[in-house]
Amino acid sequence: MASNIGVMLERKLAGEIETWTSRLDGALPLTKPSEDDGKALLKDIQAYRKDSEYFLEKGDLIKSFECLIWAWALLEIGKRFRYLE
């Protein structure tokens, strides 16, 4: 039974990674920095996106998901404080 739960959680996490990757990949091309701090922030977001892909390829779903959530959080913060448009 424990292995079934593990498989279910792994599938759920893989689905979340797919969802958040799609959301981030859709938002990034539309995002522009409003100043130099925004350029640095956007670069960090893109780095987290690439890190997510790296960890996914290595089979580390947790780190992959963490990177996506960090990227999305930075995107939202950047927009809220008008570093990103």
Give the per-residue pLDDT at 3. Answer: 76
Query: Residue 33 forms beta bridges with which residues?
Result: 84
Give the number of domains in the chain. 1
Asked if the structure places residue 30 within a domain, the reply is yes
Q: What is the pLDDT of residue 18?
A: 97
Burial of 1: CB neighbours in 10 Å, binned 0-12, 13-18, 19+: exposed
Does residue 56 sit within a domain? yes
Q: Are 67 and 48 in contact (CB under 8 A)?
A: yes
Report pLDDT for 4: 87
The pLDDT, as a whole number, for residue 6 is 86
Task: Determine the structural domain holding residue 39 and report its residue range.
Answer: 2-80
Query: pLDDT averaged over consecutive 10-residue blocks of the chain (85 residues)?
Result: 82 97 97 94 98 98 98 97 96
Does 49 map to a domain?
yes
Here the CATH number for the domain that contains residue 23 is: 1.20.1270.90
